[in-house]
Amino acid sequence: MEAQAKTGLDQFIEILVKPDNIPIAGMLILVFFFTWIGLKQARRNDQLIEEGREDEIVKEMGE
């Protein structure tokens, strides 16, 4: 009987769904999510600064 070769993705998913690794996978999702939010807000702040509306940055942070 010949063993089927697993692809890299199959091996990755097999490791990822092991019970010890599930919190790490969740943490990675959260890191990417909050990094995206931070970069989105940084871009918004840069646009406000370019438009000369620096005072609105502090107002938006307070909301």
Q: How many domains does the chain have?
A: 1
**pLDDT score for 45:** 93
For residue 63, give its domain range.
32-63
**pLDDT score for 40:** 96
**pLDDT score for 2:** 52
> Which of 16, 37, 12 lies closest to 27 in space, CA to CA?
16
Q: Are 56 and 48 in contact (CB under 8 A)?
A: yes
**Per the domain annotation, does 51 fall within a domain?**
yes
Asked whether the whole model's pTM tops 0.85, one would answer no
**Per the domain annotation, does 9 fall within a domain?**
no
**Per the domain annotation, does 7 fall within a domain?**
no
**Per the domain annotation, does 54 fall within a domain?**
yes
| Residue 6 identity | K
**Per the domain annotation, does 1 fall within a domain?**
no
Q: Print pLDDT tens along the chain (63 aa).
A: 456 778 999 998 999 889 999 999 899 999 999 999 999 999 999 999 999 988 888 888 776
